[in-house]
Every structure is written in structure tokens, then in C-alpha cells.
Amino acid sequence: MPNPVLSIVVGTYNRRDQIQECVESIARETTVPHIVYVTDAGSTDGTVEYLNSVASDTVRPILVGEKLGQARAYNDVFDQVQTPYVCWISDDNVIVDNGLDRAVAVLQGNARIGMIALKVRDKIGPFTKAPYIGGLSSLGVLNVNQGMLPTKVMKEVGGFSELFRDYGIDPDITAKVLFSGYDVVYSRRVAIHHYRNWSVDPSAPEYHALKAKHERSIKLYEAKYGNYLPQSVAFDFKKRLYRGLTKALGQRWGLNSAEPVAGLLPRDWHNIFNCRFISLVDPLLCAGKSYHLRQRWPSKKSIPGGPPEPALPGDC
């Protein structure tokens, strides 16, 4: 086996069929030498038996046996990683279009890029019409849902924040990489199909639990980054300009439309105008590249690892 270049870390719990699809898609779509680490939180549905059946030098089960929280479970694996690059994905993800190979090539070709978002498209749930997902944080950072980093950058920023535990770890690590002086980009092509088990019934207990986690994560995020990401004249101008353009275009401007506007999808334009760290000339700067939506921390003075963790707000 050639020396592995990439470590792929996947967390799972009681999703026997989905984790198999995920692992098989990695093998099918990935040619760079790699190791798949699957950390299991105590599954009882046959997942453990499946993982043991495919265990090898390439697929390495880590049978934790209990729920530690996503942040700690991933971090415990990140500590073991020795490959040049590392990425995290979820057990409900399916790799497509050689997405991991393409991401490795981007990182190998540009030392300034500290993380590449593996562009995700939902295949189940309320966002299937969107060409890709990836939301803006409340402070104007374009979040990375599933990402790949040089391992040295992952270790430099300290992995995921265990303060966030399960929800909000992705926006936090995106900001930490930016504050550390690295660029964050999105893969131009979709790299992952997402088959999340959605609960959209507002009366379902799962719906309320997710809503509570989401609200908690926003409070923590704003407590950590709010003083470092204040409103600015330039950022406000970008957002006002976007509102004016979308109003002028009217019905032609559907956020999830697959019809390009001036060469880009409406969602691309939305992200360019509403993210504080993406240049308005990003389409020119990234022309011909396999990535786009490049975010860059504008300050000459980086904050390695990001701001310190905040004290927990009283209602968190």
C-alpha cells in the first residue's frame, strides 16, 4: 500500500446501511492513497459487525461504545492522523465525482488555502432544489459543512471546539481557520450527496431538540466572534447592493435556481455579496480554477487558533 495521503474521518451511530454506502462511495470515488477512520458511538443495529467485517489497513473502525459528542469523537481521531491531509464527513454522505481527489489537488497546489469545503447537495429533505448547501453564519462567514484541511492546519487550530459539542462545530472551525490567516474555499463541483434523515414536523421531539441545539450554537458563536466581526461600511454596502440587484431582477432571481445569471448561479452571487470575506471580483480571481468562493481574513495580524473560547452564556 502506498503511503497514505489523506485521512477521512466519519462518525456514525445506528446507521448501518448509510455507513456502508458512505464507505463504499469513498472506495469507488477516491484514488489518492487514503485511510478511512470510522468512529462508532455504540451502535446496536449491526453497524459494529459491518465495520469489523471490512476492517483493514484502509478502513479502521474505532469502536468508542458511547456518545462523546461529535467534537470530541472527531478530535480523538484527528490526534491519531499522520497523513498530510485530513477531512471530516458524515455517515449520511456519499462521495461523488472524485470529490476527495479534487480537493486534495487543490490543497497540494496552494499553500495559502487552509480548508476546502466539499460542496454538498441534499438529496432528501426541504433543500433538494438547492444546487448546493452551505449557509452564512450570523456574522457573515460562509460555513463549511464538510471540509478538508492540511493536517498541520487542523492541529494548529485545535480541531473542533468541544464547547459546541454536537451542533455548530462546522461554523466554528471555518472561522478558526480564517482567523489563523488561511484562506477557505469551496470546491466548484459538488463532492458529496447528502441523505440526511430530516424531521420537518414541528411537533416532533427531534425537531425541537435540533432547534434548541441550533439556538445554543448561535449564542456561543456570537459570544466568541462577535467582538472580532463587527459591522463595517464595506460589508453593509455589499449587502445593500445585493438587495437592490435582486429586487431589480425580480422573479428571475431564485436563490435555488439552476439558471446562471451573468455566468454564476444565483446562490453563488448570494454568497459573494453576503459573505464579508469574499471579494466582489471572486469570479475573476477564481476563473478557470477548480474552487471558488474564496474567503480571506483581511487583517495583517492573524489570531492563530482563533479567539479564546467564551464563558458559557447563562442559558447555554
User: For 217-247, how does the pLDDT look when each residue is reduced to its tens digit (9 = 90+)?
Assistant: 999 999 999 999 988 898 999 999 999 988 8
**73 and 109 fall within a common domain:** no
- Highest mean pLDDT out of 44-58, 165-179, 291-305: 44-58
Length of the chain: 316
Alpha carbons 227 and 41: distance in angstroms, whole number: 36
Alpha carbons 84 and 258: distance in angstroms, whole number: 36
pLDDT at 252: 65
Whether residue 258 is contained in a domain is answered as no
User: What is the value of pTM for the model shown?
Assistant: 0.94
Percent of the chain predicted with pLDDT > 90: 78
**34 and 172 fall within a common domain:** no
Alpha carbons 305 and 182: distance in angstroms, whole number: 11
Question: Is residue 273 over pLDDT 90?
Answer: yes
Confidence of residue 316 (pLDDT cuts 50, 70, 90): low
Nearest to 142 by CA among 123, 119, 124: 119
Range(s) of the domain holding residue 6: 1-95
**52 and 143 fall within a common domain:** no
Last residue of a domain, one of 95, 121, 149: 95
**80 and 152 fall within a common domain:** no
**25 and 72 fall within a common domain:** yes
Q: Are 153 and 114 in contact (CB under 8 A)?
A: yes
Last residue of a domain, one of 69, 95, 121: 95
Alpha carbons 120 and 191: distance in angstroms, whole number: 6
Instruction: Indicate the average pLDDT of the chain.
Output: 93
pLDDT at 313: 58
C-alpha cell at 41: 458511538
Confidence of residue 47 (pLDDT cuts 50, 70, 90): very high
pLDDT at 249: 78
Whether residue 297 is contained in a domain is answered as yes
pLDDT at 217: 92
Ramachandran angles phi, psi of 78, nearest 5°: -55, -35
**91 and 123 fall within a common domain:** no
Alpha carbons 208 and 187: distance in angstroms, whole number: 32
